Structure 1
Amino acid sequence: MSGWTDVEKEERNVRMTIGRLAEITEVPASAIRYWERHGLLPAPERESGQRRYPPEAAERITVLRKCQQAGLSLAEIREFQREQPHREAVIRAKITEIQQRMLDLDHAHQLLTHALSCSEEDIVGCPKFRQQMASWQTPRPAP
């Protein structure tokens, strides 16, 4: 026994059109079809020639969008969906890349924040800023 009520079972079995899926995920139908062609979304069932998607398709699209927002390419997302050992390698590499991007963004934030309050004509000549730049050159210890 699954613990699902009859209504919940029925809702989970309802298949939606690509238009409805596009509407609830706020993703164009053309993107959904593109992801299908490239193996990022499973091919949906068809009823009378129309694509019909299960509710889980919306969840998968949410994951795809989050992966894209995190900077993963479509090829990386495809690899992410593969078997565990292969997926782990992709994830580890992406985590390293994201950590570097976060460090770069932190440095940019420090620069801009300092520039707002710096009274020096040229920020590069500012002793406080030069000290900050020197700290960027020193590798941080690994966590």
Structure 2
Amino acid sequence: MPRTGEGTTVRITIGRLAEITGVPASAIRFWERHGLLPVPERRSGQRRYPPEAADRITVLRTCQQAGLTLNEIRELQEERPRRAAMIRAKIAEIEERRTALTRAQELMAHALKCSEPDIVNCPKFREEMTGWRPASD
């Protein structure tokens, strides 16, 4: 961790943190208000963050992009017994979305090459689509 000559850890401003992470300062302040980022120390009224705050922001952005809610992200950062259950549920949800996206990608790739006016009438597509339906009891 960077240190100054006086033996104290170098802290960065919110503007610098925003620049490093590509996240607007308003989002950083929002995450602080909601308890997702530790409250930074203040010097002359300015927020000052430790360099590792950039790593936490990377985790926050990744979680948001994966579809986690603010409460789920907060729970992820805490040592609660429910944390593991929430993580397992999110992994299953992400896997379902990945499957749906893969199917959509396959459909679009096929539609680009298909000569049928309506993709649903394409025999090859219909054959693929039958594998997408849940098995009936």
Same fold (TM over 0.5): yes
Tell me: CA distance 1:36–1:125, structure 2 relative to 1, closer, same or farther (3 Å).
Answer: same
Classify 1:87/1:32 alpha carbon distance in 2 versus 1 (closer, same or farther; 3 Å): same
Aligned to 1:93: 89
Q: Secondary structure at the match of 2:98?
A: helix
Question: Which residue number in structure 1 is paired with residue 3 of structure 2?
Answer: 10
Instruction: Output the amino acid matched with 1:127.
Output: P
2:56 corresponds to 1:60: yes
1:46 aligns with one of 21, 42, 48: 42
Relative to the length of structure 1, the TM-score reads 0.84
Aligned residues with identical type, % of pairs: 67
SS at match of 2:53: helix
Q: Which runs of 4+ in 1 moved over 3 A?
A: none
2:71 maps to what in 1? 75
SS at 1:41 equivalent:
coil
Return the offset for 1:49: 2.1
SS at match of 1:132: helix
By how many angstroms is 1:84 displaced? 4.8
Aligned to 1:3: none
Aligned-partner residue type, residue 100 of structure 2: D
* Corresponding residue for residue 99 of structure 2: 103
Deviations 1:8-59 (A, max 9, x none): 5516810111111111111111111110000000001112222111011111
Counterpart of 1:10, as a letter, is R
Query: Secondary structure of the residue that 1:10 maps to in structure 2?
Result: coil
Q: Secondary structure at the match of 2:132?
A: helix
Aligned equivalents of 1:123, 1:33: Cα separation in 2: 48
The size of the alignment, in residue pairs, is: 132
Question: Higher helix fraction: Structure 1 or Structure 2?
Answer: 1
Instruction: Tell me how far apart the structure 2 counterparts of residues 23 and 126 of structure 1 sit (CA, whole Å).
Output: 50
The runs of 5 or more residues in structure 1 that have no matched partner are: 1-7
Q: Which whole-Å CA distance do the structure 2 matches of 1:130 and 1:65 have between them?
A: 38
| Structure 2, gaps ≥5 residues long | none
Q: Please give the TM-score of this superposition, normalised by the length of structure 2.
A: 0.88
Structure 2 distance, partners of 1:73, 1:33, is 17
Q: Which residue of 2 aligns with 1:127?
A: 123
